[in-house]
Structure 1
């Protein structure tokens, strides 16, 4: 429901690719690498690579192009050549190294795994639902995470195990979303820039209604999904999961009715405070600052435009 636009995206991708390259060089035999190469170059976009692998001249550009392929390229591969995405090497890396505890690492330098990527992404809420926080906690001196990396295109053996370590197939996800999704489809990816335009959250209230006459329980959010978000809403039960927020919505709408733009501008003219500071005091951080850090910023923006 929120787009993943990381400011440090180049750093994230570089770190991800170099860790996988380190693993490939350290743990795969020349025969394994040749087999991996043969599988990758059958995909659209790799037509310029020679059919026969040559270890002496290999600079691993094929590996980088595969691992860092953008979301639209992954979507194209899944649509037109799904059976070519069944090779297992990257799924093995994911299960045994990347996502196998905080003290297992992909690279030989022992610096990179799911915990490190999540920390570097610097995101605190689930982009699928914006309804759950991410945390890394410590229990009995062992780090645990309350989030997972969802494979937008499932990594199951009968699905797309080859994409298990592709950067744009790894979506930081809360456990509820990942468990609800499992291997079922969602069609809107947080790596798609237009995902935020495909939903609108609103209460089923009359326009201009006096909030003093409204009951809290009547402020349940309605989730209007469009395009690819229709499947996401159904699969992840988004509207149902927002149902208990009626009191929050009620108080937000009531306060916004008490302090419309004209009132805030008047208070600024009277010298009470600046409009921006008043907005912050009454409604918290604006979305451009809160997105990825606080819950329900899409809902707040849709409800009160802030």
Structure 2
């Protein structure tokens, strides 16, 4: 994460310091230092002595800071310097770049993130693919703005790192300018849902049908808004049979059964789990679909 943030800042800094017109750069500085957290910065812009620490502070503001700015300083986020950069360079095409060295754009950031699954839903894959016999590069990944970049919303945050969420097209289209409240970058987000069917504890899975294993998202706190906006529970209807099979396997191969198989020399418990249930979540997360659902269902 630290390397991603460094790369993002350095690329935008390259644009601001070397490409942005001096008058606009000065105007950008004055807009930024109106926000909370910039009280110590000089009120007069020193172009020759600019270290761009203000830019780093702004671009890499954490989730809590973004929440505070949106809640208390929304009127100060109407400037469009970064929205133009997002539209004209960062997200325009595979061959348009933010920095003068032509190394950084949305495609670069996604590749460096090294994930293949949408963090909003974990229900869709994200890809950058070559089409037309390798003549074109296209992506199924969008960079959603957690806080919308519309002129009447928060255009000033268009290039803030924690406001750029890699997203599948279905999530991005469902969200648009509709609200979400739980940011995937928030380290506590995993604790805000429990993806399990509404079935009695300890019931014999053989007494159930697949239809009984419809996944419930069970959101709490800020995830209630995300679930409603992104229709997560409805989209997980397709996973009913998968949930049933996972619960059936967990019942048929509980810990005692796995230990028995290990004693018989068939394999170690960890080897047997991998063969029966696939990769554990710490390996599969970000690369396989529905790993949280699997973990919530069977603890693996």
Match of 1:188 among 182, 186, 191: 182
Pair 1:198-2:192 in alignment: yes
Q: CA deviation at 1:208?
A: 2.0
Q: Unaligned regions of 5+ residues in structure 2, if any?
A: none
Separation of aligned partners in 2, 1:224 and 1:10: 32
1:269 aligns with 2:254: no
Q: How does 1:107-186 map to 2 (within 5 A)?
A: 107-140=99-132, 141-186=135-180
Q: Normalising by structure 1, what TM-score?
A: 0.96
Unaligned residue ranges in structure 1 (runs of 5+): 1-8
Query: Which residue in 2 is equivalent to 1:41?
Result: 33
Is 1:222 equivalent to 2:198 in the alignment?
Answer: no
Equivalent residues in 2 for 1:1-306 (5 A)? 9-140=1-132, 141-306=135-300
C-alpha RMSD of matched pairs (Å): 0.9
Distance 2:122 2:21 in 1: 43
Deviation string 1:170-201 (CA, Å, 9 cap, x unpaired) is 01011100110001110000111110000001
- Aligned partners of 1:223, 1:31: CA distance in 2, in Å? 50
RCO higher in structure (CA 8 A, sep ≥6): 1
Aligned mates of 1:43, 1:77 — CA distance in 2: 7
Could you list the structure 1 runs, at least 4 aligned residues long, displaced by more than 6 angstroms after superposition: none
TM-score scaled by length of structure 2:
0.98
Over residues 32-51 of structure 1, what are the superposed CA-to-partner deviations in whole Å (9 max), with x where a residue is unaligned?
A: 11100000000011001111
In the alignment, is the contact (CA less than 8 A) between 2:19 and 2:100 conserved in 1? no
Residues in 2 aligned to 1:253 and 1:286: alpha-carbon distance in whole angstroms? 16
By how many angstroms is 1:220 displaced? 1.0
Count of residues in correspondence between the two structures: 298
